[in-house]
Amino acid sequence: MAMTEVVVENVEQNVKEVLARYGNNPARMIEILQDLQDIYGYLPREVLREVSHQTEMPLTRVYHVATFFKAFTLKPRGKYTIQVCTGTACHVKGSYRVLERLEDVLGIKAGDTTDDLMFTLETVNCVGACALGPVVIVNHKYHAYMTPAKVESLIKEYREQ
Please report, rounded to a whole number, the percentage of residues in the chain having pLDDT higher than 70: 96
Structural domains in the chain plus CATH codes: 11-68 (no CATH), 80-159 (3.40.30.10)
pLDDT band for position 1 (50/70/90)? Answer: very low
Q: Answer whether residue 94 shows pLDDT above 90.
A: yes
The pLDDT value given to residue 3 = 46
* CA distances in angstroms from 100 to 70, 81, 116, 124, 147, listed in the order given: 23, 16, 20, 15, 11
Given the DSSP bridges, would you call strands 141-143 and 136-138 parallel, antiparallel or unpaired?
A: antiparallel
pLDDT surpassing 70 at residue 4:
no
Say what the pTM is.
Answer: 0.74
**Using one digit for the tens of pLDDT, what is the confidence trace for 96-126?**
999 999 999 999 999 999 999 999 999 999 9
> Average model confidence (pLDDT) for the chain?
93
Burial degree of 70 (CB within 10 A; 0-12, 13-18, 19+):
exposed
Q: Which amino acid is at 59?
A: L
Mean pLDDT of 143-153: 98
> What pLDDT, on the 0 to 100 scale, is given for residue 6?
57
